[in-house]
Structure 1
């Protein structure tokens, strides 16, 4: 079985790796389509009785030949009283069995919540033998990501940005890595810096157009 569970905090690269898995499985001939269909609870769980199973089956059909990626999969199970969520899970398990040779399912979410989710259906845990934990990025890794993102946008961070950025990322990750955002934190920090840099250039038209300075950083 190639079904997988990706656990870890937001921004650690789970969706990116899922896309690569889909492309790889197509490249080696394990899947015909190689598409990644990314969904969450709202795409699978209906609003009234009898709506959930057709909705979930429709999503499964769209993913045949590729990978079905369910983000925050634990939200499908909100307890034994959540009949709609349980119906979606039961339908998913049946769909995985019926289409075992043409569908790979990847579930993603927080580590602790995913462990609880796997108790929702007796056949769920055994169908996901491949489990990958995505660790949080270190401050140094986030700094490197920021530099790479900047280069991809045609900018460069002045060396004097490194120390304040490193300190900022260390503080944010230490406070709560679960909500800090990991890779998204780096991207958002760069977006703010580019915005402030553009405003600075209006006042300093002779300044270098592609260089981001410490004064452009917004490190709350």
Structure 2
């Protein structure tokens, strides 16, 4: 074989490897399940707030559809990455949307299962040398053909940690993401600033995680809507005056929020407090009927 033949062979091999690495999730995809996809999108659109995230998800879906169509028509497809970074405070729906992303990839025919495996540093990092890689491998295996969701992922690379087993978890995860590039989607989540620092600590993370979704804090009116949704699910009614008091409370909490603002979790905690106050009020009444048990009064809203 002449030297120019050897070069041509190497170039063809490089092209095959590049195509396989950039389009792994389209090579094995099947036809989209349009009805199933629409059902997932309905659930996504029914979530309170998150308009920016909803727009980004719809844009990604449209992009993937067109890439699949281009591939069927024999056209070149664009490089794409499904591994994502979810940035936002606790209680903003990151886990819920991550679960829906798995369902979306399943309905698009990109992932065969689309299930969600949720973990954090404690699920990935062991206390002894060599054990961390084993924990990561087990989690990755359980998430194959679905989504691995790592909450507070920045804890894997704490600031000023020096030698830390978290680095072993990162290195093992990056290796497995390459090994199973056509069977695994990884979503890492946490506070925006912390996640930016985390991704920038490692060139491997930067190359694999370049798609960001930003989950904004819920506005006071949105917090009230979430509260009303919980009421509806549990057979409670929020009166007009009660709603006014609740909106004032959420507005005050929103104005003075910090990076630990609980968003949806905060709403759930306040709902629990409201129901407790309502119970204390009801037990003092001589007679309690069905309507009284359902109604939330202004005095039931905690100060």
Deviation at 1:177, TM superposition (A): 4.2
From 88, 113, 118, give the equivalent of 1:33. Answer: 113
Q: Is the 8 A contact 2:199 2:209 kept in 1?
A: no
Match of 2:164 among 72, 83, 94: 83
Residue in 1 that maps onto 2:130: 50
In structure 2, the partner of 1:210 is: 294
Q: Is the 8 A contact 1:9 1:177 kept in 2?
A: no
Pick aligned residue for 2:154 from 74, 78, 81: 74
The structure showing larger relative contact order (alpha-carbon pairs under 8 Å, at least 6 residues apart) is: 1
SS of the residue 2:203 aligns to = coil
Partner of 2:260: helix, strand, or coil?
helix
Deviations 1:69-126 (A, max 9, x none): 0000000002461331111101111111110110000000000001110122211112
> Residue 56 of structure 1: SS of its match in structure 2?
helix
Deviations 1:159-178 (A, max 9, x none): 11122211111111221242
Stretches of 4+ aligned residues off by more than 3 angstroms: none
Q: Give unpaired runs (5+ residues) of structure 2.
A: 1-80
Q: Considering only CA atoms, is the larger Rg found in Structure 1 or Structure 2?
A: 2
- The CA RMSD measured in Å over matched residues stands at 1.3
The CA distance in 2 between the partners of 1:84 and 1:215, in whole Å, is 51
2:179 to 71, 91, 98: 98
Mapped pair 1:188 → 2:272: no
Deviations 1:25-61 (CA, angstroms, capped at 9, x unpaired)? 1122111121110000011011011111111111111
Report the TM-score when normalising by structure 1. Answer: 0.95
Per the TM alignment, residue 180 of structure 1 is displaced from its structure 2 partner at its CA by 2.4
CA distance in 1, matches of 2:201, 2:161: 8
User: How far off its partner does 1:129 sit?
Assistant: 2.3
Residue 63 (str. 1) matches residue 147 (str. 2): no
Partners of 1:177 and 1:14 in 2: CA distance: 18
TM-score norm. by structure 2 comes to 0.70
Among residues 169, 176, 201, which one is paired with 2:282 in the alignment?
201
Correspondence for 1:131 among 192, 212, 217: 212
